[in-house]
């Protein structure tokens, strides 16, 4: 990873050796674009399909939440301090896969003569390369984080959401808020390593596109394709972790039977089942796990696993487009939820709530949901992270606010150094 920082395009995906099904590798590093696709939401999925099918190779990148405007008649007019492209994918010149202590190196043919020299350089690196400034967290000065909305404003907006629910406009909506810093100087790799150490999630990722960085500690899979099988694993339902094992186990058990938390999850499972059915072979949509408790470093989560089968001629992009954005980050019904999100949130989500991942030459793919992530525009010195939660008729606004703060702990700690 230190060696990779010399390149303009870097993607590092890490499962943190998490004992979980559907992992193809432990880690993968993709660097240095041979070619790339960057575009806004207009016809984004069509452009991605053409790029993928023309390249017919591994491509890595992200889909921003605002590609919703390509799937529905929607807009994104809220504040955007980060200024990231709405879609970015690249074909790497150099690929490194690690699984079970085996390193597999794949270079494009024109660059295979560089393998020996690159491996020698990697072996020589003992410390991260010199940066042009001392990171703020190494100087003992914390990055000054601001709330985009106050607690009072948050609670008022939740009252408006509850009015929508009582009227029957929606059943559930995922409402998010931004925390940000201006004039922020950080070492992105250092912050990512700290964030990953704190969280150890199964779908972590570091993404660098020129001077823009995504430092992700996501525990959630958006969607994966293995041959003809599609797997989506929505998360809804959260409880904190405790140091005392017995007390911690009680919290996990309480989460598993909590009526409100389970109802949040089940509503999104139904939404995902519906979305999967758009491309599925008839009768193939199944719920393999419902509201199973998974425990991470900071929180317990309820995760469900929903699968389907698709025909041989179904293009991967059509599957992703039918599911996008992830139901756990919108609500139900999805269109109404996204309209209300746009009205009440004050920040453009951008890559947050989108997905980071890759396509293979065989048209398989794997994408996370971009949550528990820090975003950094180095040129603008603007740093941001967002957190949110599902709001239902049984939501207590005060408890929802505290849940947001709980989810923000890892990012806050990572920035403190």
Sign, CA torsion 86/91/96/99: positive
Which residue in the list 52, 225, 236, 334 is annotated as catalytic?
Answer: 236
Do 47 and 55 contact (CB within 8 A), yes or no? no
The tokens 């698709």 sit on which residue? 310
**Continuous segment of H or E residues that includes residue 412:** helix 397-416
Cβ count near 95 (within 10 Å): 21
List all residues 6 or more positions away from 310 whose beta carbon is below 8 Å from its beta carbon: 225, 228, 230, 279, 280, 281, 319
C-alpha–C-alpha distance, residues 376 and 368, integer Å:
19
Q: How far apart are CA 188 and CA 190, in angstroms?
A: 5
In the block, tokens 């997905």 appear at 355
Residues 274, 277, 283, CA angle at the centre, nearest 5°?
120
Q: Which of 172, 178, 220, 400 is catalytic?
A: 220
Distance CA 181, CA 145 (A): 5
- Sign for the pseudo-dihedral over CA of 340, 344, 350, 356: negative
- For residue 403, indicate whether it is catalytic: no
Do 408 and 190 touch, CB atoms closer than 8 A?
no
Buried b (16+ CB within 10 A) or exposed e, 324-356: bbbbbbbbbbbbbbbbbbbebbebbbbbbbbbb
User: For residues 24 and 100, is the Cβ–Cβ distance under 8 A?
Assistant: no
CA–centroid distance for 372 within its chain: 7
Q: What single-letter DSSP state applies at residue 129?
A: P
Beta bridge partner(s), residue 217: 204
Please confirm, yes or no, whether 220 is among the known catalytic residues: yes
* E strands in 219-360: 221-226, 229-233, 235-240, 286-295, 299-309, 331-332, 355-359
**Distance, CA of 285 to CA of 287 (rounded, Å):** 7
Q: Which residue has the tokens 């007390």?
A: 247
Catalytically active residues are 220, 236
């Amino acid at each position: 990873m230190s060696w990779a920082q010399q390149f303009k395009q870097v993607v590092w995906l890490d499962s943190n050796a998490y004992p979980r099904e559907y992992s193809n590798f432990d880690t993968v590093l993709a660097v240095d674009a041979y070619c790339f696709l960057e575009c806004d939401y207009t016809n984004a999925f069509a452009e991605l399909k053409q790029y993928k099918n023309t390249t017919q190779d591994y491509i890595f990148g992200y889909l921003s939440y605002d590609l919703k405007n390509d799937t529905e008649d929607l807009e994104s007019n809220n504040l955007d301090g980060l200024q990231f492209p709405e879609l970015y994918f690249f074909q790497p010149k150099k690929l490194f896969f690690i699984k079970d202590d085996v390193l597999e190196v794949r270079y494009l043919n024109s660059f295979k003569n560089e393998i020996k020299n690159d491996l020698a350089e990697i072996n020589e690196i003992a410390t991260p390369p010199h940066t042009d400034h001392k990171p703020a967290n190494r100087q003992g000065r914390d990055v000054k984080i601001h709330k985009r909305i106050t607690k009072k404003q948050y609670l008022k907006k939740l009252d408006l959401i509850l009015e929508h629910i009582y009227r029957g406009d929606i059943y559930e909506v995922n409402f998010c808020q931004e925390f940000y810093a201006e004039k922020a100087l950080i070492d992105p790799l250092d912050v990512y390593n700290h964030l990953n150490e704190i969280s150890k999630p199964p779908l972590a990722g570091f993404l660098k596109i020129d001077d823009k960085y995504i430092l992700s500690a996501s525990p959630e899979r958006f969607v994966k394709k293995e041959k003809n099988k599609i797997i989506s694993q929505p998360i809804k339902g959260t409880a904190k972790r405790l140091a005392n094992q017995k007390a911690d186990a009680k919290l996990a058990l309480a989460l598993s039977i909590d009526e409100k938390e389970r109802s949040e999850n089940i509503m999104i499972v139904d939404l995902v089942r519906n979305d999967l059915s758009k491309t599925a072979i008839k009768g193939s949509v199944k719920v393999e796990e419902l509201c199973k408790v998974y425990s991470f470093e900071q929180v317990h989560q309820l995760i469900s696993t929903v699968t389907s089968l698709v025909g041989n001629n179904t293009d991967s992009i059509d599957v992703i487009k039918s599911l996008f954005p992830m139901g756990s980050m919108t609500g139900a019904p999805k269109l109404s939820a996204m309209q209300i999100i746009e009205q009440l949130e004050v920040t453009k989500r951008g890559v947050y709530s989108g997905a980071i991942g890759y396509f293979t030459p065989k048209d398989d793919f794997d994408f996370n949901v971009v949550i528990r992530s820090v975003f950094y525009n180095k040129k603008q010195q603007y740093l941001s992270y967002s957190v949110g939660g599902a709001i239902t008729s049984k939501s207590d606004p005060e408890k929802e606010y505290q849940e947001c703060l709980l989810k923000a702990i890892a990012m806050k700690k990572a920035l403190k150094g």
